[in-house]
Structure 1
Amino acid sequence: MASSTINAKSENKSKVLKVEPLDQKDAKWATLVKITYTDPEGVERTWESGERLTRPKDCDIDGVGVVAILRDPSKPDESPRIVLQKQWRPPVNATVIEIPAGLIDPNETPETCAIRELKEECGYVGEVMDGDFGVSPIMFNDPGFCNTNLRMIHISVDMSKPENQNPQPELEDNEFIETFTVPLTDLWTECKRFEEQGYAIDARVGTLAEGVELAKRWRLA
């Protein structure tokens, strides 16, 4: 699946209608808290922070991000492709370029969550990569603002398998996700192009792109 050239502003008809304060008693997904703490000099200070309300009990993460790489073993010379998504997000009032991701269920491992989310959102069936690269350390999305965190799960998708020939997402009624792929080596260039077209870039995608570009420029591989 190639990336689209349609301008994001004309492609998606979603729009923010109203923004208003939310009473904490009505919050289902997130809330605000005031943290009182002492700084390195012992001075008492306060901090406003966001917190998710969805983290399962006895779980150390809120969810996972999925780095899904498509490869066909019969075509070893082809550049690997990364699975991306377009999804309109109300907080930024824009269509965002993202990786597959989702909240973890109770008693679910990060690996199982990632495989499930990839299948549900994109239709692909993959396997977590071998070794200690399969699951990342816990990463905090924006620690100056909230305690939301995740693990990045790296998944290999074998495109020669029958189940990946015609992937069919299993989206919920309130999910409007467009899945596409780009060559992994071109991710930085693609992010720049998407920004020019009016899309917002998710930090996880941007960081992945930056890492690939650094590796190329500094010949780390």
Structure 2
Amino acid sequence: MASLSKSKVIKTEPLDQKDAQWATLVKTTYTDPNGIERTWESGERLTRPAGSDIDGVGILAILRDPSKPNEPLRILLQKQWRPPVDAVVIEVPAGLIDPKESAETCAIRELKEETGYLGEVMEGGFGVTPVMFNDPGFCNTNLRMIHLTVDLSNPVNQNPIPELEDNEFIETFSVPLKDLWEECKRFEKQGYAIDARVGTLAEGVECARRWNLG
């Protein structure tokens, strides 16, 4: 795979609304609690399937080998260059949902396509989060985080081969879940951008550690 750092922005220019395929800008007129009429500019996705309550999923994939119960759990992460921030971003696997597809099915499919790993949805009501909005003051994009386990003893997961599209350049790796906070700080010092989902997961793990919430 070509080095992700070779990607670069050539130019940035205004996008005519009629040419937009993935997202557009809208102006919303509303009234505030005092009845005053105001307007709000925001982005809006154009890809949400009819009847779906989400645009896509983010995936918390935990690697574990049942034959090695004492080894630390590892979280699957990715490096992917993103044009809007002109940087390589540390992310969790993610993807847009297909028409009539459940969030769970989408997550299993996207994980297999992007990483080659076959995951299973965690049981006990922890597999699917409530609907989350990424940046509600700016856009209507939303998702559910799906929590998957990847059984490394499964032969399918011992030599994972991604099925990337020709415009996808993704490097997959893992770090110990307990070290995610420190890893994020290290990545930032190295010049990587941190996806908010990764940062929030890291913050949650660190909060649990500091305040003994286990």
TM-score calculated relative to the size of structure 2:
0.98
1:43 aligns to what? 36
The correspondence for 2:113, drawn from 120, 128, 140, is: 120
SS at match of 2:100: coil
Alignment partners' CA distance in 1, 2:64 and 2:213:
21
Q: Which amino acid aligns with 1:55?
A: R
SS at match of 2:202: helix
Q: Which amino acid aligns with 2:180?
A: L
Q: Tell me whether 1:104 sits opposite 2:66 in the alignment.
A: no
Alignment partners' CA distance in 1, 2:112 and 2:148:
12
SS at match of 2:200: helix
Q: Which amino acid aligns with 2:190?
A: Q
SS at match of 1:92: coil
The correspondence for 2:75, drawn from 74, 78, 82, is: 82
Q: Tell me whether 1:91 sits opposite 2:84 in the alignment.
A: yes
SS at match of 1:137: coil
Q: Tell me whether 1:189 sits opposite 2:162 in the alignment.
A: no
Deviation at 1:11, TM superposition (A): 5.7
1:136-155: per-residue Cα shift (whole Å, max 9, x none)? 00000000000000000000
1:76-129: per-residue Cα shift (whole Å, max 9, x none)? 110000000000000000000000000000010000000000000000001000
Q: Tell me whether 1:27 sits opposite 2:20 in the alignment.
A: yes
1:134 aligns to what? 127
1:1-39: per-residue Cα shift (whole Å, max 9, x none)? xxxxxxxxx861111010000000000000000000000
1:64 to 1:11, Cα distance in 2 relative to 1, 3 A = closer
**What count of residue pairs does the alignment treat as equivalent?**
212
Q: Tell me whether 1:153 sits opposite 2:153 in the alignment.
A: no
Q: Percent identity?
A: 80
TM-score calculated relative to the size of structure 1:
0.95
SS at match of 2:114: helix
Runs of 5+ unmatched residues, structure 2: none
- Counterparts of 1:196-211 in structure 2, within 5 Å, are 196-211=189-204
1:56 aligns to what? 49
Alignment partners' CA distance in 2, 1:131 and 1:30:
36
2:156 aligns to what? 163
Tell me which stretches of 4 or more aligned residues in structure 1 moved more than 3 Å.
none
